[in-house]
Structure 1
């Protein structure tokens, strides 16, 4: 019947399913999944009791799962609320469809609902069917790990944030338990096993003795899980990361490659998150703040935009130095902007810093670095959550004339930022030429592309559109559906710009947010945004905004001044021909209420000026290194501290009878090894002194033999260390006190024990070399031996645990009761 294996298989599935917890709100899905696992296990037991072949066992377990789902989610359409009918199956199919729609619409954790719960329960139940079939019926426990791994991989693939190590440890422990149970069953069925007796009293029976297998498997399993959990935290480059995370090599020496999962994967989830949470707030001396950029994505492989691997060295740290100059920014007018940014405490895994482009200096604690080409700010180990930092940026103010008259870009810029995959359809290339027909410069081409997306092309901003996953999706967006959100608009404009020969990339970060009543700008999760940046020689990388804004689009998106249409009177001023228009929402005329309000607040002092922004936190040692250093010091100090604690506890226990009502304690002679010794429990004090002598001798390298009598031990110590004079007399008195405490009816008076220990301790230190003395102080071998013995006892306790042993213990307890 394999009842044990069935139970372990169900338990392994349950433990693996716990990794789904970050995907859903509430715990309803977990209880429903547990019911599905129990139903499948019951179906498997029934199939084996009926001795059905393996080909028929799977349909039985699937039928059990279907009955459970019917009872749980469609009882009104079922026969007698139990037997599935076409109506109940239709109801289940409808709920599954609703669950898929909710999963595609909402970011994790998905809100509770019958469809989502059914979807999770169906997945867990299907995995339970496969595990039961493979591990129990076909006796292939190792392949049963594949569906368990698939169950664990779902949240790892959907969520950008790494799963909790506890979830992994539980799932791994369940799989290892399944392997161990299967091996135990196979050993019990092979050959003529050696039998052992378990339990006691009546009902004892012989069974295969697999205790050595259980012990070995349990030790290996615990070691494997511990290594799998701890190694990724200390080995460079394998740290699990989230949406804003990166992984790299070593952190200090040499160059290393830094990569991140697709940054745009998290964009839609931020935009569709149910709670519009505050991501950060900031103060700035810029009356019209620009976007806060996180990523610059310069590579398009036909499926998605991402950035080139970053080569990070210690020289790229931002602390206390000016950052590299913005590429290509040579002739355009610029001004410095100072921004004080405070990232919310609940923001996790943000290892890239949001900052206005182009940052020239950053003041922040921790190991933060800059990519010299893109000026992205990132860390190999620190997190921006809860941090405040200052960013000084160089903001370019190119005019339309400067952009229109820009010369050709450098060869390395063209080579890197015009690269396109070979699968771009010809209709898309023709569409780019058609939209920009009649343009006299690359700047006019960019303006015509932007106007086509925001006004003339008939595009609609729609968060319900699926994220593009290839060139065909972008073609559908450009030529058929024309529905999407900022990712499609930015990716499409950047691709079409490259088709036209304009160096382009996609930037991702946040819009400037909204101005609060206290003069601080507030950026929320729905301000997450993507936009194209185009390169013009002399001005460098400049932002364009093809995404519609306002109530029908990205509500806080704005068009920069250099990308706004020229007024009819050409809008030129005396200050170099710069248009005076402030950034305005895209998709129509500027809305006058937002930007003038920002200027008024600045003029009245509501928005902090450069001199008013709080000073950034001084660069200091990284918190991670400090924590690691403190941990190392704590570990190094553990043996010494344990030795001191053991000494004090030993003397305190010996003095307990005195505190309980014995004669008043006598004052000691004043030493440094132990508390004053009283003449209360003379035997207990003698034993404590002898134990202290034993530990002191072991710490100083003396060969201590537990079988020696006190007199023999004293003689061995004297001969091995060459003691003489007062030390020999003190050692003899300690041995005599221990002998009388053991064998004499009246122990020796304890008056000199403490002083004798001090004399012997000093003699030990004088008789050994300096290295041995320091080892006795910092890493006393007696304490290390005690720690090892404690570890062996703990392992022995774990080895002794088994279902049989626990059951026998419970039976004995019941009999005693």
Structure 2
């Protein structure tokens, strides 16, 4: 019975990528305990067998109301989770919010799997495992496990199945079952690791939320109207770091008449993952936003939005970070986002990210605009330098319109008049013209509408954003960085120095060489060396498959067993070296958890870069290390304190998902440092 219950719980844990491990683990364990207690009571009093189903369902419901936060205040949320939670989970970003009307459908599935599995166990061991297999299959329809997660799941499920299916009589039966379970775990883990794909993929369709609007206003058309009433307060913002602009919506499709967006809305879950196109280091920032005169459904946000703290449900476009009020407009909310920290020198030499290219169809481009774009670019190849050359040209040769007579429109007639005749326009014409010419030159670009942050805050540190701060600007996709905002009007970058991507782009522009110098740098096209072909032997297919499987299995076994074993041996040898050995162990421990540890880093440096128990442990180790190295004593009185600091750091780093701890144990990085 324990094996059947454990298999159902393990299968339910496959929903962890959807809700998070903690959100699903405790409710599933609670319902499994309820099933176990009911079955134990029936064994002692067989007369209760006819009440098995009601006792189990009522006990499971009580357990869910007690364990899932917020469920007791609204018991009907469990029913909502069963009837529609599975669909609304698909409509959300992952990890989804652990609200009871969403997450409760997973422990309910596990409860039914446990109930049916234990009941069928009396007739067939094989069929008793079928409910757990069905739960695991449904979880894979949401998201497919891969890599180390697949190995862990294979080990756990194969072990549970072996405990249920295998049985030998005699005194040594328990040992035989244990060995058989271990063999089954290795075989199951290897099978899952080799057969499942290497990247997670969603199988079920991700429908749009039913309450997402079908018709949305275009903020680009309101720029001139807002500039005519410049003093109207739109919103206020108070951030914990420098902010340059507040995007509202990114427009990426142009038919020659109108710029539009095609966002794919989802319900905002707990936190969005970091954009996979951003490979540079990022820093987390947050800000409190309070809306004042706000008529749009769109909300001020950031390009790389991570999460929003608000009581009202919000919709998000994960690709652009755009936020939308799902039902009623919130009066205030707290937004968290990731800001790339890119070196100015690296940005100056960066290429463009062609895989982020959006709508390439520009309609029928007027000949004059196309010729102007080619003339500006010369022989400069698509790169971030070319993006700055185009920006510099618009800054130098065109003027920003002010006053009451403001031009409007962003179709080809208006852009043709702006670029070739008047050379005067608002940020609407500047940004639209830039994106059209950038795409003609092979640069992945899009148009963003939002607000710039004022140069100076109010006395309490809050920035008051008014209509005069409305702005449209272009963004160019840069390799490793993502979308980088530019400023062809020359008015968007804060005078106080924002410190974000816009400020980095401005610093690169100030150091930009002449177009002729850039052309000479780009004239030498890099060539790839020719690849020599070599004739190979024609082996039978089954032989090659067998050899490949043996090689993969041997390497996998060597990795899973060898890496942790080498670390254990290394740790025991280091204990003989006392405090110095503890310092070496702590450095490798941090490396295995992904922290960058340079040869010159001291224990106090690592303490400043850490937080919580890890920082406290490194501070304690720093004091022990000072006394061991500089006290002049031959003895090492603090060796036990030093190794206790290492254990404290390990416990602090081990907080989180079980798979993360296993991944760290199998990480060979510190063995090659």
Q: Sort the TM-score into its range (normalised by shorter chain).
A: 0.3 to 0.5
- Which structure exhibits the higher relative contact order, with contacts defined as CA atoms closer than 8 Å and separated by 6 or more residues? 2
The two structures have a TM-score, normalised by structure 2, of 0.42
Greater Cα radius of gyration, structure 1 or 2: 1
The two structures have a TM-score, normalised by structure 1, of 0.35
